[in-house]
Structure formats: structure tokens, C-alpha cells
Amino acid sequence: MNNFARDKQAIQDGDSVQVMKRRKAEITALENKLGREKNGFRASIIAHQLEEHHTEYTALDALI
């Protein structure tokens, strides 16, 4: 079971606040990391991860 499936199950079980706070913290950390990164290749990887996290966050938010 991956993080998305585990978080989806946690939201369905009623632990939505903790899941969304943790997810938002992960997104904020990635945004900060992207801002500090000077290597273009690493920045593109972080940007991809950030996009993926935003998509998952939106999907989880729709479940609430």
C-alpha cells in the first residue's frame, strides 16, 4: 500500500485533519527545497514531485 492509498484510507476512517496537515507540510518542504535548488536536473525532479503531491492533495481534499 502506497502513501496515497494509506492516506485515502485514513481520511475515510476520519483522520482527515492530520493527513492534510502532513501533506501540506510535505508540499511546503518541497516548495522550499525547489527554491533553494540550483541544479536544473534536480530542480526538475523536485518540480515533478511537487506536481504529484499537489495532484494527490487535491484528490484527497475532494474526499473530505
Residue by residue, pLDDT tens for the chain (64 residues) are 689 999 999 999 999 999 999 999 999 999 999 999 999 999 999 999 999 999 999 999 998 8
In a domain, 8, yes or no: no
Question: pLDDT value at position 21?
Answer: 96
In a domain, 2, yes or no: no
In a domain, 11, yes or no: no
In a domain, 3, yes or no: no
Question: pLDDT value at position 2?
Answer: 86
Question: pLDDT value at position 64?
Answer: 87
Q: Which of 7, 13, 25, 1 is nearest to 61 (CA)?
A: 7
**Which residue range(s) make up the domain with 45?**
16-63
Q: Sign of torsion, CA 51 53 59 64?
A: negative
* Number of structural domains in the chain: 1
In a domain, 5, yes or no: no
